[in-house]
Amino acid sequence: MDDSTGSQNKPKYKRIVLKLSGEVLRNTEDGEPIDARTLKAICEEVKKVYDIGVQVGLVIGGGNIFRGLSGSEMKGVDRTTGDYMGMLATVINGLALMDCLEKLGVTVRLQSAIPMDKLAEPFIVRRATRHLERGRVVIFAGGTGNPYFSTDTTAALRASEIGADMLMKATKVDGIYNKDPAKYDDAVRYDHVPYIDALRERLQVMDSTAFSLCMENNLPILVFSMKEPGAIYRAVMGAPIGTLVD
């Protein structure tokens, strides 16, 4: 579906939370944590849905800079300390997203679960909702503000709190598979997965806490690939893309 068609139709989802992995920002060639071209490409995709009136909340991980769990296992950092380091990394990524989006003409607010008033607003549900209603993209950084919770759980929590119509998780693959498609040629992609099956089969696209939170709040999850240009736009327009969990 092209933009001219989309402008004649209303998006299926009015308010979304888009979850991005911090790893998508990394330059795979030179190892730089934030690749300028990738950052701009992502922000341009977000702007496409912003321009048609979709209210967008963003949650981005910090794995391109520091990942709490693996950091504690591989680098000898205490798990709690490592998780806080990971949360601070999400603020760095959030600032990068905010700067890039603003240069594209998008009004943005960065909110952090960890108080840092020189850089971001504190996360307040009512304020976040008001920003969305007034046509501002809201970036939710700092995780939940607590260790031992992933950014997947953060995305599920924020989407539930602001009453999002859909939680969209952008990944490197085009949906949920029964096993790793990078390792197994016979991996099968699901078009639709019930919450309970995602939990029972321990599908590794999101952690069980995030799945459970979405199930309890009847919040659908769409898992799709960011590699395909226009994927976010197509998703909010209701095109069949990725895997739907509901």
Annotated binding residues = 19-22, 62-63, 67, 83, 144-151, 171, 177, 180
Residues of each annotated binding site for ATP: 19-22, 63, 67, 171, 177, 180
Degrees, nearest 5: CA angle 206-108-96:
65
Residue type (1 letter), 7: S
Length of the chain: 246
DSSP 8-class letter at 123: P
Residues of each annotated binding site for UMP: 62, 83, 144-151
Burial code (b: 16+ CB inside 10 Å, e: under 16) for 25-43 equals: bbeeeeeebbbeebbeebb
Q: How buried is 203 (Cβ within 10 angstroms: 0-12 exposed, 13-18 middle, 19+ buried)?
A: buried
- Closest among 164, 161, 167 to 126, alpha carbons compared: 161
* Pairwise CA distance, residues 23 & 39, whole Å: 11
* Pairwise CA distance, residues 59 & 37, whole Å: 19
* Pairwise CA distance, residues 84 & 80, whole Å: 6
The answer to whether residues 91 and 116 touch, using CB atoms and an 8 Å cutoff, is yes
Contacts of residue 157, Cβ cutoff 8 Å, sequence gap at least 6 = 144, 213
